[in-house]
Amino acid sequence: MITEAELNNLIICKKCHTLHKRVPLRGKKKALCSQCDVLLYQKHPNLINKTLALVITAAISLFLAFYFTIISINIQGLEKELDFYALFLVLLEHHQYVVGIIFIFLIFIFPLTIIGSMLILLMLMKRKKNPYLVKRLLILLAHIRPWSMVDIFFISLLVAMVKLFDYAAIELGVAFVAFVFTLILDIIITKNISFDALWRKYQEIYGRVDEE
C-alpha cells in the first residue's frame, strides 16, 4: 500500500498524463515532463507574497478596464464610445438576452470572481486563518478558471478595430491600456504559479488543522 507522503511525491503531467516522481530541485531549475516537455513543477520561494502582489495589481487594472472607455470611434463626426456599461445596455436594447447573459458571465463575472477569490484566499493563507473557506475558494477557482475569457475578448477587440479601420478614426482609451496590463499580469500569474503549488502550500499551512 502507498502512503500519503509517497502519493504527495508523485505528479501526473497535465498534458499527457504520464506519472512522475518528484525530485528535489536546485535553485531556479524547472522540472519538465519526460514525454512532452510541459512544465511539471518548479520551486516557489515566497509563493504567497509574490502572487498576492500580482493579484492586487491585476485587480486594480481589471477595475480600470471595466470602468473607463475602451476605445472611441469617430465616423465623419459621429462619435461613439465603447465601455462595459454601453456593452450591457446595447445588448439589452437589442433583446439579446442569451448572448448578453453568456457575455456578462464570461467577461465580467468570472474574471472578477477569479481575482476576488484569489485575493481573499491569499490573504487568508498569509494569516493562516479559515482553512475551510480557503479550500472552498480553491475548488471554486478550479471550476471557473476555464470560463474566463478576457483574453479572447481582447483579441476580438483587435479584430473589430481592424474591421472598422477603413471607415472610422479610432482612439484608444484608458481601459484599453488597462486591458493590456491585465492580460500581461494574467499571463505572469498563470506562468509563475501553478494551482498544484497553491494546494501544496495549503496542505503545508493547514495540514495539522485538517487532521483534527
Partner 1 sequence: MKSKVHFTRCHICEAVNYDNGEVHNCRRCHSPIHHDLTISYHKTLAFLITAIILYVPANLYPILISKQFGITSESTIMGGIMHLWEAGSYPIALIILVASVFVPLLKFIFIIYLLLATKYNLSSSRVDKHKLFYITEAIGPWSMVDVFVVIILSVLIHFSGIQVVPGAGATAFALMVFFTMISALSFDTRLISEKKHTSLEGKH
Binding region for partner 1 (CB under 8 A)? 2, 4, 7-8, 10-12, 14-19, 35-36, 71, 73, 75, 78, 80, 82, 86-87, 90-91, 94, 96, 98-99, 102-103, 106-107, 135, 138-139, 142-143, 146-147, 149, 152-153, 155-157, 159-160, 162-164, 168, 194-196, 199, 203
Smallest gap, in angstroms, from Cβ of residue 191 to partner 1?
15
Smallest gap, in angstroms, from Cβ of residue 90 to partner 1?
5
Smallest gap, in angstroms, from Cβ of residue 209 to partner 1?
14
Cβ proximity to partner 1: between 24 and 78 the closer is 78
Cβ proximity to partner 1: between 53 and 67 the closer is 67
Smallest gap, in angstroms, from Cβ of residue 52 to partner 1?
20
Three-class secondary structure assignment of the chain: CCCHHHHHCEEECCCCCCEEECCCCCCCCEEECCCCCCEEEECCCCHHHHHHHHHHHHHHHHHHHHHCCCEEEEECCEEEEECHHHHHHHHHHCCCHHHHHHHHHHHHHHHHHHHHHHHHHHHHHHHCCCHHHHHHHHHHHHHHHHHCCHHHHHHHHHHHHHHHCCCCEEEECHHHHHHHHHHHHHHHHHHHCCHHHHHHHHHHHHHHHHHC
Cβ proximity to partner 1: between 57 and 130 the closer is 130
Smallest gap, in angstroms, from Cβ of residue 72 to partner 1?
9
Cβ proximity to partner 1: between 4 and 27 the closer is 4
